[in-house]
A and B are shown apart, each in its own frame.
Chain A
Amino acid sequence: MPVLTRFDTPAHLPEPTEGDRDAWSARIQGVVVSLTADHPQFFDPTVGEIGPDVQAPVVAWTAFPATLLEDATSEEQRWAAADASRDVQDEYCEWSVERDDDGVITRVTFTTEVPEYFQHLARDPDRLLATYRELVGPQVRLEDLVVDGRYQPRNVHNRSTTGRLAHLVQGSNTLEAALRLAAQATVLRHDADGQPVTSAMTLVRCGRLGDPRRNSDPQIAAAVNDAAATGAEISLQDPVGIYIDRLVVGGMETPDGEDPATFWTVERGDAEHVLRASYAVPPDRPYRVGDVTVDGRPIRFGAQLADRVSVRLTALVRPADHRPERRPCVG
């Protein structure tokens, strides 16, 4: 694997200048360096050779919030709950829904774009505004986004589950949180009986690594922790980011028999690094998203698609000869 000279932008998004690229890299490196100081098995891939034996395991999970599954009383209840607020969309993927005058869904937009990148964009207000207008619509004004010289991630165009969203805003959905989780999960744990803690949910609780009921935190923690137990060093693959992995169309049916996968459009990123995608029926067809069925039910909630959207990050595992000692639980 080639030497990494700097952290690239999520999905290799273009930057106007080398200085902008360096600024993003410095932002990420600031987080990574602070984590490597405390976690000897978490490494900075921009320092030295990564090595030829490095593996890049993918950790994937479902966009629908697992925290809502436990209390669900019916499918409709959980779908409605997930569609009701961005604050419950805590799997590093959020979505918003557009409907027509009949209330029928016409488009669902998913994003995994992290707020840190928009803080980075906000260094140049014109660029921030242009990006918002591209993603959300021409109605966006700069004063909606920047107040007293500070970018407001939860602005009027990016806090609801209706319309078009811009980027992640749920409190846990940040790139720093993902990096911190990966670093902290390199610490091996044992329980009160001295037994190794390896199962995902228990590990997260034991190491205070996030919410054990989420899809994402336990998945990331378990994968990292298992690799760390071999003595390996761990990091995240460049371009560091959370990506939409795919939409599973099994069980979906369109009124005219068209392949339901054809209505999934990648809006930002590339085929390997999807940051934003939407599901919409082209205007030349006489039906809408709400006329497409999933397991026999018309799509009435964006969450029905979130059940089928998977999200991923890619770790880097570099063989090493650490001999970590297990520590007691802190949670």
Chain B
Amino acid sequence: MAPPTTTVPSCAAFRQLPPEVLQPGSVHRLVLGEDDAVRVLGDEEAAAELGDPFATHLLLRGVFPRTAGDVLSALDRATPDGHRLREELVFLLGEGSQILMSAATVGVERRLRFLVVRGVGAEGADVLLSAAHPDSGDVELMAWDHRAGGFNYYQSVGDSTAWVFAGNSRHALCGPTQGKGPFESHVSGNVVMKELRSPWLHWHSRAANILPSVLPADPPLVGHPWVSSRNPQGADICEVAVAKPGINRWTRARFQRLVDDGVVDDPGRVMVQVLDTPSVNLIASNRESRDVAAGGPLVLPQTFFVDSEALTEVLGLPAPPRFAVAAETYLRSLRTFDVHQEDDAGVRHAGDTHFAFAVPERAFEDQAVLRRALAVGLLSERLAACLLMVDFPNPVFSRRRASLLAHVPPRARITEGSWDLSDAMADAILDAAPDTPAGSPEREFAELWEDVASLGDRLHPYYAAVTARLGSQAGFDDYVRLAESRRHRVRQMPISESSLLFARTDVPARERRMTADGTVVEV
């Protein structure tokens, strides 16, 4: 039988692969955008392309595990006592994991899945696998390629012992492989932990346990090593031990290559992560939504209002105050907007997500690119600050900021020890500004560029205006509408895989933006 030609440029392509086209006990290659069809990798070809520990300890030695649990057992057999690949951390998440198990909710699609990592050190984990159950196939696996750099992406299909190599992190960044296969959701070739920061909505964490009562009963998991003794570990550990160092690891490797080459052929690929919103993380209040009924202020995520991670933590501009809303104002908005959760089968559950007011924030992987671009000198602090202050009330999905990508030069070089990107881009925007309409992003940039000392002064009136608006029901209701428009954008992104990712409302799905006076307008 001839192998099928893959036309669906997504992870669905792997799920659609008929097992009969795969050769058991083999590693295949299907890098969408490069490969027209799945094919078996020959021994030499595999050895040349795959330099990660999953390949070097197992696949290249003829070991092809069938299930997630088999992968781990095989790694144990392949390594001596004390080897770092024997060090394991298990994490658990699921968008419906916090919905109480009862007769009424037994059918909720909770999407429980495990992340198991091996080889954890200062740079994160060497092997990461995701599976619904230790005994299940359809394993998604990433492993750091110590030779080439970047993560290699693998997928097993059904109960087969066939494995498919789906690409390396570098495939996420250029050419026809961008945005395809695993890079549809791993947009920049990175570890994805959407709910990266406290309170790690949807994850088992110190902020919210996933109770044993929601674990699958068939086959049963209670008592399995993945869910007993120290497991599952909290998402707080995943954040600092796996996700952030893993993202930084790939970002550092990616930029090291640029520095070594002394030239960036597509600086737009870097700048899109500074100016646009190719991906997001999800953040929420640290307070359980049900707990708000007890009264007291509900502190909202700062990064909903301003990109404080970049502007304050990286660039040193004034920190925002604590943004909080009265409990009764929040509770009234739940009724006003019919806030509820709805699973994929359409079953409703009244109220907000487990933690209140979940919204997207700028992705950590994009923050990592900003930090790295500054560290290697590709971007100057002045350019970064002025770019990110354009339309600063909209930290994500800012059309105004993204429009400045038009001024990214086609190529950046190191000359006499300095990158030429910052000067070239600033000059391009400043040159263009006079010919643009009043209020254009270019004119806004030019104004900021000329008065860079006052950047912080522009934030304080905004902070005060938001604080004042949060004191009124109408003001907070506007922010609920704004939040809903941002959530709607996320629901269109490949990382949105469950109806339970966010709560639902009856707010019409229109694009809205925040203004510098703290009001919200429809676009």
Contacts and interface: CB of A to CB of B under 8 A. Distances in A.
Interface of A: 55-58, 60-62, 66, 69-75, 77, 195-196, 198-202, 205, 212-213, 215, 218-219, 222-223, 226, 229, 248-253, 259-261, 295-296, 307-308, 310
B206 interface: yes
A251 B237 CA distance: 12
Contacts of A251: 122, 240, 244-245, 248
Given A199-B208, A226-B212, A248 B286 contact: no
B123 A222 contact: no
Interface stretch (B10-18, B265-273, B288-296, B493-501): B288-296
Nearest to B355: A201
B288 A201 contact: yes
A199 B208 CA distance: 7
Contacts of B242: 250
B229 A57 contact: yes
Contact of A250 (B211, B245, B286): B245
Contact of A75 (B286, B290, B313): B313
Contact of B208 (A57, A200, A310): A200
B213 interface: yes
Contacts of A69: 198, 286
Interface in B310-325: 312-313, 319-322
Contacts of A71: 299, 322
A218 B287 CA distance: 12
B354 interface: yes
A250 B288 contact: no
A249 B122 contact: yes
B472 interface: no
B122 A250 contact: yes
B236 interface: yes
Contacts, number: 117
B230 A260 contact: no
Interface residues of B, number: 47
Nearest to A75: B313
Interface in B100-137: 100, 120-124
B74 interface: no
A58 B248 contact: no
A223 B321 CA distance: 34
Most buried by B among A72, A73, A223, A249: A73
B207 A200 contact: yes
A250 B124 contact: yes
B371 interface: yes
A248 B237 contact: yes
25 contacts: A58-B230, A62-B236, A69-B198, A70-B299, A73-B302, A73-B319, A73-B321, A74-B308, A198-B100, A198-B211, A200-B288, A201-B291, A202-B290, A213-B286, A219-B206, A248-B237, A249-B241, A250-B122, A250-B240, A251-B122, A251-B240, A251-B245, A260-B122, A295-B244, A296-B248
Contacts of A253: 122
Given A55-B228, A201-B288, A201-B291, A248 B241 contact: yes
B211 A226 contact: yes
Contacts of B233: 60
Interface of B: 98, 100, 120-124, 198, 206-209, 211-213, 223, 228-230, 233-234, 236-237, 240-242, 244-245, 248, 286-288, 290-291, 294, 299, 302, 308, 312-313, 319-322, 354, 371, 375
B354 A62 contact: no
A250 B209 contact: no
B371 A199 contact: no
A212 B209 CA distance: 14
B121 A212 contact: no
Contacts of A212: 291
Given A198-B100, A222-B209, A250-B241, A60 B234 contact: yes
A61 B230 CA distance: 12
Given A74-B313, A200-B207, A252-B122, 15 more contacts: A56-B229, A69-B286, A74-B308, A196-B100, A199-B98, A201-B287, A202-B288, A205-B294, A215-B206, A215-B207, A249-B121, A250-B241, A250-B245, A259-B122, A310-B237
B240 A248 contact: yes
Contacts of B122: 249-253, 259-261
Nearest to B244: A251
A226 B222 CA distance: 13
A219 B209 contact: yes
Contacts of B287: 70, 201
A202 B236 contact: no
A66 B286 contact: yes
B312 A74 contact: yes
Nearest to A60: B234
B229 A58 contact: yes
Contacts of A60: 206, 230, 233-234
Nearest to B89: A248
B310 to A, nearest CB: 12
Nearest to B101: A198
Contacts of A259: 121-122
A256 to B, nearest CB: 13
Nearest to A198: B100
B158 to A, nearest CB: 33
Contact of B244 (A199, A219, A250): A250
Contact of B209 (A77, A195, A223, A261): A223
Contacts of B229: 56-58
A69 B234 CA distance: 17
Contacts of B312: 74
Contacts of B209: 200, 219, 222-223, 226
A307 B197 CA distance: 12
Given A66-B286, A70-B286, A205-B291, A296 B371 contact: yes
A70 B237 CA distance: 19
A84 to B, nearest CB: 17
Nearest to A212: B291
A199 B290 contact: yes
A223 B237 CA distance: 18
A64 B310 CA distance: 23
A103 B98 CA distance: 46
A74 B319 contact: yes
A71 B322 CA distance: 6
A230 B248 CA distance: 43
Contacts of A229: 213
Contacts of B319: 73-74, 77
A60 B234 CA distance: 8
A215 B237 CA distance: 13
A126 B352 CA distance: 58
Contacts of A66: 198, 206-207, 286
Contacts of A252: 122
Contacts of A260: 122
Nearest to B243: A250
Contact of B206 (A61, A195, A202): A61
